């Protein structure tokens, strides 16, 4: 095709969206099922124990989006819903996992193009010298566009005590994109609740752009035990009866110690138990069975320093 041909080509005008008649009847449940969002919630229930208030809020947001889609079909314009969010809670409470599922939900309901999650911290956005921050921040935003940008420990972006800090430049770029490109990017800010509150007080521009504030509660001991069972099953391990009793005691003790990180601490504890099991089997010098390979014993659990008195380290 010549340059002339190319120049003479004209694009077909985009078809106007179909508007439903006023007397049309729509089944919201059918639209919900067709979007396959329920599959995401089922996966969320399988992979994350507890968090009932969080899951309830996410379902409410999904319902809002389904209704908004139908309103648009009837040409009931109310403006695109603001979907930027704040996730607050202690480490290991599932914030990143829920953000991943949220990206899937938004994609299946047609609110983001791709449904991917880009997870970053301050170091990914803020440069160390003049002229470095803007390109870093814009590159991250470019990668996240069409999906969800998850900024963990977002309060570290703002450091008023350092006059030479470049975090404010990243904040200004983010605020502009959150306002002007909210139809193509959802931003989720995450971190400890008290620090996020101070961050929003110091940065009212963020607060005004966040529509959904979701708090992630700490897990109860029985929920942490269930989380441990899921983690072990995923790697073809299980606890013996005595080991389960020991692990229950471990959880109770560990929760009282500093730097406890909910599911993250449970994962670390089980990784160390697997290490002890491997060394125990290796040093036994005899033959072993498949049952030996998949079973963690009470000794593998109770060898943790958590059982020392006083318990001053995990």
249, 246, 229, 251: which is closest to 238 by C-alpha? 229
Write down the pTM of the prediction.
Answer: 0.83
Closest CA to 211 of 179, 254, 165: 179
Which structure tokens are listed for 228?
Answer: 């441990």
Q: Can you tell me the distance from the alpha carbon of 269 to that of 98, in angstroms, rounded to the nearest whole number?
A: 23
Q: What is the band of 70 on the pLDDT scale with cuts at 50, 70, 90?
A: confident
Instruction: Give the number of other CB atoms < 10 A from CB of residue 227.
Output: 23
Residue 120 main-chain phi, psi, to 5 deg: -140, 170
Residues of the chain with CATH 3.40.50.300: 17-216
* Residues 231-263: tens digit of each pLDDT: 999 999 999 999 999 999 999 999 999 899 999
Residue-wise pLDDT tens digits, 9-38: 444 444 545 665 555 667 777 877 888 889
**Beta strands in 41-129, from DSSP E residues, in sequence order:** 85-89, 117-120
Provide CATH code, domain 17-216: 3.40.50.300
Question: Which ranges in the chain are annotated with CATH 1.10.8.60?
Answer: 221-307
Contact by Cβ (8 Å): 190, 152? yes
Percent of the chain surpassing pLDDT 90: 65
Residue 150 structure tokens: 């998850």
Lowest mean pLDDT among 11-25, 106-120, 183-197: 11-25
Q: Binning pLDDT at 50, 70 and 90, where does residue 223 land?
A: very high
Domain 221-307 class in CATH: mainly alpha
């Amino acid at each position: 095709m010549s340059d002339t041909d190319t120049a003479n080509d004209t694009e077909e005008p985009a078809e106007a969206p179909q508007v439903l008649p006023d007397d049309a009847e729509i089944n919201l449940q059918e639209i919900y099922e067709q979007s396959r969002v329920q599959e995401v919630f089922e996966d969320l229930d399988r992979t994350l124990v507890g968090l009932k208030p969080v899951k309830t809020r996410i379902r409410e947001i999904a319902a809002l989006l389904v209704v908004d889609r139908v309103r648009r079909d009837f040409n009931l314009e109310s403006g695109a819903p603001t979907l930027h969010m704040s996730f607050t809670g202690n480490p290991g409470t599932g914030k990143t996992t829920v953000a991943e599922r949220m990206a899937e939900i938004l994609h299946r309901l047609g609110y983001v193009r791709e449904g991917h999650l880009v997870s970053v911290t301050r170091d990914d956005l803020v440069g160390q010298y003049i002229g470095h921050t803007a390109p870093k921040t814009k590159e991250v935003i470019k990668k996240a566009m069409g999906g969800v940008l998850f900024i963990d420990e977002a309060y570290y972006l703002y450091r008023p005590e350092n006059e030479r800090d470049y975090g404010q430049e990243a904040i200004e770029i983010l605020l502009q994109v959150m306002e002007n490109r909210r139809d193509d990017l959802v931003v989720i800010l995450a971190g400890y609740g008290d620090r996020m509150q101070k961050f929003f007080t110091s940065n009212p521009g963020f607060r005004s752009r966040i529509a959904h504030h979701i708090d992630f509660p700490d897990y109860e001991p029985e929920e942490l035990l269930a989380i441990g069972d899921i983690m072990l099953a995923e790697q073809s391990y299980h606890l013996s009866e005595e080991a389960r009793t020991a692990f229950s005691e471990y959880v109770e003790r560990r929760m009282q110690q500093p730097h406890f990180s909910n599911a993250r601490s449970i994962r670390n504890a089980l990784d160390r138990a697997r290490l002890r099991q491997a060394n125990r089997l290796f040093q036994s010098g005899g033959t072993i069975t498949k049952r030996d390979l998949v079973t963690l014993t009470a000794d593998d659990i109770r060898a943790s320093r958590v059982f020392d008195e006083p318990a001053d380290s995990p």
